[in-house]
Amino acid sequence: MAGGSDTPPPVPEPADGQSPRIGVDEWVASVEGRRDRGKGVVGYVRGEFARVPRPAFYLAFGIAAAFLPAVTNNGYAIRVGFNTLLYMLLALGLNIVVGYAGLLDLGYVAFYGFGAYGYAMLASPKFGIHWDTLAVIPVVVIATAALGFLVALPSRRLVGDYLAIVTLFFGQLFVSVYTNGERMSFLGLTRSYDVTGGPNGIPNVDNFNAFGHQVSSLQAYFYVALVMFLVVLGAVYLVERSRTGRAWMSLREDPLAAELMGMPVNRLKLIAFAAGAAIAGLTGTVFAALNTAVFSADFDVPTLIIIYAILILGGAGTLGGVILGALVVNVSLEVLRTPGHATWIFYTLIVATLVAKLRPWRWLAAVAAGTIGFGFAVHAIVAATWAAGVDGQPAVGGILGSGLRHWVVLPASPRTIGNVAFIGLIFAVLLLTTLQGWVRKLVLIPTLYLTAFVWENRLVVEPSITRLILIGVILIVLMNARPQGLLGSQRVEIV
Amino acid sequence: MNWNLFLTELVSGVTHGSVYALIALGYSMVYGVLKLLNFAHGDIYMVGSYIGFGLITVFGGAQTLSTSVWVLLPLMFICAMLGGGLLGVLIERFAYRRLRNAPRIAPLITALGVSFFLENAALLVLGAQYQSYNSFSWKGGELWREGLMLPAGVHLAVAQIVVVVGAVVLMVFLTLFVQRTQLGKAMRATSFDREAAAMMGIDVDRVIVATFFIGSALAGAAGVFNGLAYQQVWPYMGFQAGLYAFIAAVVGGIGNLPGAVVGGLVIGLAQSLSIGYISSTFSDAIVFAVLIAVMIVRPSGLLGRAAVQKV
């Protein structure tokens, strides 16, 4: 079955009565499903898992998330949770355009920004308008959907790459207009008006308020975002199964075939764009309300790339993937900001990857022993020849830290040598991908050590840059190794 | 009519346009053979620019150059072109090659990832601060003091002449290469129809590597040109320039080499003239609007052939 949807593999129909169906060998027909599941306990668990209906998972996620503000009072943790929910919402919208309909929309953040600015203009002292939230949200969502419709209108003739180009420039145009919007005049004919506040954005945006109640605490916003997410998720789940959803997927698989089958291809594209844009606009309103200010810089390419990374990592076209992708990308990258935690996660990830990928076991043992021995040897040599080379302190304390101090070379001034090592590491990893067999394992040992060296001396010190570098790497590696993402199923391209 | 303003913006537009045209050529070549929008192309230009800057530093910095300008300039070009070309080949080999037959969306997203990676790796290694070629103070301002006097008191400096003439020379070489050599013919054949070319015995892999090398080398050279004429280098410079070159390639008709040059000049002039005559803050918006208008009216670009799309 072609298609990245997360429907469970079709269970072969039970043969009615006792007579086996003619022309169908059920054992053969179901072999792929069984092969995917694997054998033994793992296979059994995965089989049972696949039987649970999808909405149960979404509900379980919703309940688990609802407990977050209850278990922690930590404002930072709730804030991260809130941001993750926003990214999930954004990824849901993008999922419709890219995941279902297969249209590469690189101007998606513009709709997010449009929603945020729309809310800020209708509920702030900027123009003295203070509408009720229940009025603002429908207006903004409909306006964003209309904008999406307008962008798609000329784009529907453009296929593939050209669509990507036009939407990318639409996004750039948007950022440019909002950044310079403090002196706008209509074609230079009228006098200048301050529409967007330019680089200063729009400050003092109102809180959400409805029926005389204000949403003011972070916890409350978290719940607002959670409810929004679950409602949108439910809607998208239903749409996925509807005629429109299935038509989108057929459009993604083969537009020509879809059109020949009588699908209204152009209308489907327009609806997909408008629906994605509407969700982005909705997300923008919550974003603006919690942050009480909007700036054009929040709606530029880096945000776009993070949303894409989330969607791709989870698997475009799957709803569970959106949740998983946002959790992995946003939470893990947020954790990276604390050097102590980041270091633990970093080494755990490396060890886990090695354990999962390196077989047979004796190779794993050999590489692990080799890396540890190599590290101590290098450390001893450096300590003997260059005293300042081992003066630094690792970013993590405790047992890991004291172990690392005797293993990784930590120069007192690591900047330059760390940069050189970083470039060296890129080449080492590239080299590694071209090698095979035992040579590969041999090169793996110094590469692992170099990775630790670069991490301790350079990456952990610059968390905000490391975050962005990692997102770039995720996109490249994932597209090359597993283009369907974590939860997607392999698609077969028929050319 | 204010001739001084017009000529100044004209000179600036042609200089900018030459840089855009060089980058756009690489975009177009890669698109021609692979049908891939190589978003990382602008970042190769950034790396080329930094290579040039590195050489200035090696030779004692802008204020106290230890060598003649006419030794340094060719050296900068050779290094930036080699460095850019090799970087392009590496990117092709490790990021794009496995995706040749993947769905179209996969290489596009990979290209975004490569671009993001290069920008931020440069940020990590080279720092966020702006650096300057400071070509005004090379050997007492040799490059900017001399030059031609145009009418209406407009001064055309040696640096600007170097940029425009250098770009033209590279374009002539490229045209000769593509039209006359065997590899150039193979390139055209591959871009016309990759499968048929492979069946005719053309080593498509070799052609693709050569395309990436040449295209990226041009971007590297463009980086140095930009540094000479406009001084500044910083890690995110590639994104903006990449966008403009990209517009140039698309406006001229992507995959079409003369189109890329025309597109580069059109975009350079549109940008300069809109800065001079309409509004400096909205020049970006104006250029983007021009692009969107061209795309809607003539989706295949000014000089492009109309592509036959089935849907």
Q: What is the pLDDT of residues B265-306, one digit of tens each?
A: 988 888 888 887 877 777 777 777 777 777 777 777 777 665
State residue A201 phi and psi, 5-degree precision: 70, -165
- Which of A321, A305, A304 has its CA nearest to residue A313? A321
Taking an 8 Å cut-off on Cβ atoms, the answer to whether B116 and A183 are in contact is: no
Band the pLDDT of B310: cuts 50, 70, 90: very low
Cβ–Cβ < 8 Å for B224, B49: yes
Q: Which of B143, B139, B88, B135 is nearest to B231 (CA)?
A: B135
Phi, psi of A382 (to 5 degrees): -65, -40
The shortest CB-CB distance from B103 to any of A308, A430, A493 is to: A493
Between CA B173 and CA B187 the distance in angstroms is: 15
Of the candidates B150, B168, B148, the one whose C-alpha atom is nearest the C-alpha of residue B19 is: B168
Q: With an 8 Å Cβ cutoff, are B37 and A483 in contact?
A: no
Q: Shortest CB distance from A169 goes to which of B95, B281, B288?
A: B288
CA B139 to chain A, closest CA, distance in angstroms equals 30
Residue A17 pLDDT exceeds 60? no
Task: Determine whether the interchain pair A162/B291 forms a contact, defined as Cβ–Cβ distance below 8 Å.
Answer: no
Mutual angle of helices B3-34 and B257-277, in 10-degree steps: 150
Using a pLDDT cut of 70, give the percent of chain A over it: 87
Query: Which residues in B lie closer than 8 A to residue A485 (C-beta atoms)?
Result: none
Question: What 3-state class would DSSP assign to A180?
Answer: coil
Which single residue is written with the structure tokens 């170097």?
A: B162
Res. B308: pLDDT tops 70: no
The answer to whether A275 touches A92, Cβ cutoff 8 Å, is no
B157, containing H or E segment:
strand B154-157
Question: What residue type is A403 in one-letter code?
Answer: G
- Residue A425: is its pLDDT beyond 90? yes
CA distance A477 to A233: 28
Of the listed ranges A16-20, A122-126, B72-76, the one predicted with least confidence: A16-20
pLDDT bucket at A486, cuts 50 / 70 / 90: confident
pLDDT tens digit string along A136-181? Answer: 899 999 999 999 998 888 766 666 677 887 788 888 888 888 887 7
- Mean pLDDT to the nearest integer, A219-232: 91
Mean pLDDT, residues A210-219 taken together: 79
Cα(A239)–Cα(A247) distance, integer angstroms: 10
Q: Are B108 and A161 in contact (CB under 8 A)?
A: yes
Closest Cα in chain B to A478: B110
Measure CA A101 to chain center: 18
CA distance A205 to B135: 47
Cis peptide before A360 (omega within 30 of 0): yes
Of A304, B285, B34, A147, which is closest to residue A155 (Cα–Cα)?
A147
CB-defined contacts A:B, below 8 A: 138
**In angstroms, what CA-CA distances link A164 with A169, A262, A314?**
9, 25, 21
- A188 neighbors B279 (Cβ within 8 angstroms): yes
* B131: β partners: B233
Q: Are B223 and B84 in contact (CB under 8 A)?
A: yes
Q: Which of A166, A473, A155 is nearest to B243 (CA)?
A: A166
The reported pLDDT for the residue numbered B311 is 42
What six digits make up the tokens of A488?
Answer: 């997607």
Q: What local confidence, expressed as pLDDT, does residue B148 receive?
A: 73
Q: What is the pLDDT of residue B270?
A: 86
Asked if the Cβ–Cβ distance from B288 to A255 is below 8 Å, we say: no
- For A203-300, where are the alpha helices, taking DSSP H only? 218-241, 243-253, 255-260, 265-291
Helix pair angle (A437-454, A339-357), 10° resolution: 170
pLDDT tens across B153-197, in order?
A: 777 888 888 889 999 999 999 989 998 999 999 999 998 888 899
Q: Is the CB of residue A95 less than 8 Å from the CB of residue A279?
A: no
| Cα three-residue angle B158-B161-B164, rounded to 5 degrees | 155
| Residue predicted with more confidence, A42 or A260 | A260
A188/B105 Cβ within 8 A: no
Helices (H), B146-303: 158-180, 182-192, 194-199, 204-230, 237-252, 257-277, 283-297
Of A449-458, B16-25, B233-242, B287-296, least confident by mean pLDDT is: B287-296
Show the tokens assigned to B260.
């890329």
CA gyration radius, chain B? 19
Is the confidence at residue A252, as pLDDT, over 90? no
Residue A4 scores a pLDDT above 50: no
User: In B, which residues are within 8 Å of A265 by CB distance?
Assistant: 311
pTM here is 0.85
No. of helices (H) and no. of strands (E), chain A? 22, 4
CB contact under 8 A, A422 and B125: yes
| The pLDDT value given to residue A185 | 62
Q: What percent of chain B has pLDDT over 90?
A: 38
pLDDT digits (tens, 9 = 90+) for A66-116: 888 878 778 888 888 899 999 999 999 999 998 898 888 888 999 999 999
Whether the pLDDT of residue A30 is over 80: the answer is no
Residue among A394, A396, A390, A397 at smallest CA distance from A412: A390
Q: What are phi and psi of A399, to 5 degrees?
A: -70, -40
Residue A465 pLDDT > 70: yes
For A104, how many CA atoms within 13 A lie in the half-sphere containing its CB? Answer: 22
**Other C-beta atoms within 10 Å of A43: how many?**
14
- In this structure, the dihedral spanned by the alpha carbons of residues B145, B147, B151 and B153, taken in order and rounded to 10 degrees, is 0
Contacts of B39 (CB under 8 A, 6+ apart): B108, B111, B112, B114, B115, B242
**Taking 60 as the threshold, does the pLDDT of residue A2 lie above it?**
no
State what percent of residues in chain B have pLDDT above 70.
96
Residues of A in contact with B114 (CB under 8 A): 472, 476
Pairing verdict, β B154-157 and B147-150: antiparallel
Of B105, B281, B292, the CB nearest to A180: B281
Q: What is the pLDDT of residue B200?
A: 92
Element (H, E) at A340: helix A339-357
